[in-house]
Amino acid sequence: MRYVDSHTEGEPTRVIVDGGPDLGDGSMQDRIERLARDYDHVRRTVILEPRGSNALVGALLVAPTRGDCAAGVLFFNNTGYLGMCGHGTIGVAVTLARMGTIEPGVSRIETPVGVVSVNLVDANTVTVENVASYRYRSNVTVEVPDLGPVTGDIAWGGNWFFLAKDTPYPINLDNERQLTDAALKVQRALREQGITGRDAGDIDHIEFFSGALAADANSRNFVLCPGGAYDRSPCGTGTSAKIACLADAGTLAPDTDWVQESVIGSRFVARYSLGPKGEIIPSITGRAFVCAEGSLVQQPGDPFAEGIG
């Protein structure tokens, strides 16, 4: 399989551009289900050590079902599959531009949760107009061992998030292990107490927030991804979920920039518009940089040809 690696504000994406499995016809949801059912060894090969890492997100390019889309994409990580990935979509857009598939301007990409648009501003800067996002429940309190009651919002930004009102530790890399452990405890408590997203959707992303360190940013976050690794970027779907909460609370007006810092200090600029039915449509602007191109190799006799784990 041929791949292109990039990072979006520090968070890596590996795009499989050739040699992936033939998933046939059908919707993006049909194809990601087929990928999970019949070709999960591909996900493991691409993502897991020794070829990948827990922080890596994979993206398989597939033919779109719609004529107005430049590509279809299926996202996956070290534990499974994602409906949407904001940083990954920015990485995919920069990769498609490098391949000559898209040019500067607006293109559309089909994902399992819907069509998103990408505006390639320059070789590295992309604005993603995400799927409609919303706050599902506000001020939900979960009892968490060692932390006590933790209150936050449940919101959809392409994945399900629990957005805690406060952070148990200052958001910096010195506290990465403590923040990760705390977020895992929150995630576990939500599941044990039966707290879910709409239609019993699993809340597999946890966000903590604090004030920004930079004077021109609005917030700093720490995001735990489903596989237990923290997001080096400010998280595109997580920032979309945050924007949806702010919009629902009436504290952020449409077409107003909101600058979200990550735990490593990288940033996304977010804003939202209102759809035809009043739905919240977030846009996320960030930068991605291609950092490697190559082929994944499986030699005969390799005991870890399909990854470790």
Question: Within a domain: residue 305?
Answer: no
Question: Within a domain: residue 180?
Answer: yes
The contacts of residue 40 (CB under 8 Å, 6+ apart) are: none
pLDDT at 309 over 90: no
Which residues carry out catalysis? 85, 235
The contacts of residue 141 (CB under 8 Å, 6+ apart) are: 149, 150, 151
Share of the chain above pLDDT 90, in %: 99
pLDDT of 255 reads 97
Q: Which residues pair with 74 in a beta bridge?
A: 60
Q: Which residues pair with 106 in a beta bridge?
A: 119
The contacts of residue 87 (CB under 8 Å, 6+ apart) are: 8, 9, 11, 13, 57, 231, 233, 235, 236, 286, 288
38 and 117 together in one domain: yes
Q: What is the DSSP secondary structure assignment for residue 95, as one 8-state letter?
A: H
123 and 163 together in one domain: no
Query: How long is the chain?
Result: 309
- d(CA 28, CA 153) in angstroms, rounded, equals 29
The C-alpha angle with vertex 131 and arms to 107 and 122, in degrees rounded to 5, equals 35
- d(CA 61, CA 31) in angstroms, rounded, equals 11
pLDDT of 97 reads 97
pLDDT at 198 over 90: yes
Question: Within a domain: residue 302?
Answer: no
pTM: predicted TM-score of the whole model, two decimal places: 0.95
265 and 201 together in one domain: yes
- The tokens for 259 are 């600058």
- d(CA 98, CA 250) in angstroms, rounded, equals 40
Q: Which of 183, 172, 171, 153 is nearest to 251 (CA)?
A: 153
Q: At 14, is the secondary structure helix, strand, or coil?
A: strand
- The tokens for 99 are 């391949």
Whether the Cβ atoms of residue 241 and residue 253 lie closer than 8 Å to each other: no
22 and 94 together in one domain: yes
Question: Within a domain: residue 268?
Answer: yes
pLDDT, averaged across the chain: 97
Domain count, the chain: 2
pLDDT at 57 over 90: yes
- The tokens for 32 are 């990601």
Q: How many CA atoms lie within 13 A of 234 on its CB side?
A: 28
The C-alpha angle with vertex 183 and arms to 179 and 184, in degrees rounded to 5, equals 120
What integer is the mean pLDDT of 285-294?
A: 98
- The tokens for 237 are 């779907």
Q: Which pairing describes strands 205-210 and 160-164: parallel, antiparallel, or unpaired?
A: parallel
110 and 25 together in one domain: yes
43 and 175 together in one domain: no
pLDDT tens string 82-138: 989 999 999 999 999 999 999 999 999 999 999 999 999 999 999 999 999 999 999
pLDDT at 46 over 90: yes
